[in-house]
Amino acid sequence: MDQLEFSRNADEHATSLHLHAMRFTKDEDEAKDLVQDTLLKGIRFCHNFDAGTNIKGWLYVIMRNTFINNYRKDQKRNELITTEEDISSAHLLKSSSKNASEGKFVMGDIQKALSSIHPNYSIPFQRYFEGYKYHEIAEELGIPIGTVKTHIHQARIELKKYLKNYRGNYTL
């Protein structure tokens, strides 16, 4: 199915997709954005759609995954935003003693840990850490998604072993 034909078929489900998006977001504008993202991803990856299967169900899965991924990104972004309490003088005094020298040692150890991992594991892990999705990594490396997930998991295990001295101070 080409993109134009897929677009026509998907457009028939826009209303039900919007209702489904409202259940996720509880906000009209966010629901519209979610529907738009879903349709764009559907059109972009329409070559993965098996003709004769349920297009509405396929789009619902894309929508759910898009919503979950966006939610996780927002959670990470919110964790990085500092509040006034975080930048009080007591917190700054505590953190300033650790910042420069400890940061250099930690980054050096992380680089050593990453270089000690087999490239089959480190490359998918680095791509995932950079924000790529599993399917994007799988396409880039020409390996199945399950293998990508396994390699990322193995890389985490190896990194945890290598960086065990930092346990409790940082999370992988």
> Can you give the CATH number for the domain in which 65 is found?
1.10.1740.10
Residues 15 and 68 in one domain: yes
> Can you give the CATH number for the domain in which 108 is found?
1.10.10.10
Residues 155 and 113 in one domain: yes
Residue 14 scores a pLDDT above 80: yes
- CA-based nearest residue to 62, from 10, 1, 127: 10
Pick from 46, 81, 116: which residue ends a domain?
81
Domain count, the chain: 2
Residue 90 maps to a domain: no
Cβ proximity of 109 and 163 under 8 Å: yes
Pick from 49, 81, 113: which residue ends a domain?
81
Distance from C-alpha of 171 to C-alpha of 118, rounded to nearest angstrom: 21
pLDDT: is 107 or 69 the higher one?
Answer: 69
Residues 31 and 100 in one domain: no
Residue 89 maps to a domain: no
Express each pLDDT in 120-138 by its tens digit. 888 888 888 888 899 999 9
- Beta bridge pairs of residue 167: 170
* pTM for the whole structure: 0.46
Pick from 48, 81, 114: which residue ends a domain?
81
Q: At what angle do helices 119-129 and 89-116 cross, to 10 degrees?
A: 150
Residue 53 belongs to what domain range?
A: 1-81
Q: What is the pLDDT of residue 172?
A: 46
Residues 3 and 73 in one domain: yes
Residue 23 in tokens:
């259940």
CA distances, 60 to each of 4, 34, 35, 117, 121 (Å): 19, 11, 10, 37, 32
Residues 109 and 62 in one domain: no
